[in-house]
Amino acid sequence: MTSDWSRYVEGCSHPFTLVHGHHDPVVRISTVRDFARRYQGRARLVEVEDQGQLLFYARPDIVLDALSAYA
């Protein structure tokens, strides 16, 4: 979200999942929600209330579950 990913998403019709921690100090959850709303119907947002930027290291299960849904 610090970069504009729209060009990658708009050129693709596949669904995608965003996994984001509420306590991320760089990218606010409201920014991620807005991005997901723009692609409603394709975007799924998984919000993790008790995590921040290092979500993958603290809760790899959440990230891997999201990935496994596409395998």
pLDDT of 19-50, one tens digit each?
999 999 999 999 999 999 999 999 999 999 99
Q: Is residue 1 one of the residues assigned to a domain?
A: no
Nearest to 10 by CA among 33, 35, 44: 35
Q: Residue 41 and residue 16: Cα distance in Å, rounded?
A: 10
Q: Which amino acid appears at position 33 of this protein?
A: R
For the record, the structure tokens of 69 come out as: 């849904």
pLDDT at site 8: 87
Domain span at residue 39? Answer: 6-68
Give how many domains the chain has, as a whole number: 1
pTM above 0.85, yes or no: yes
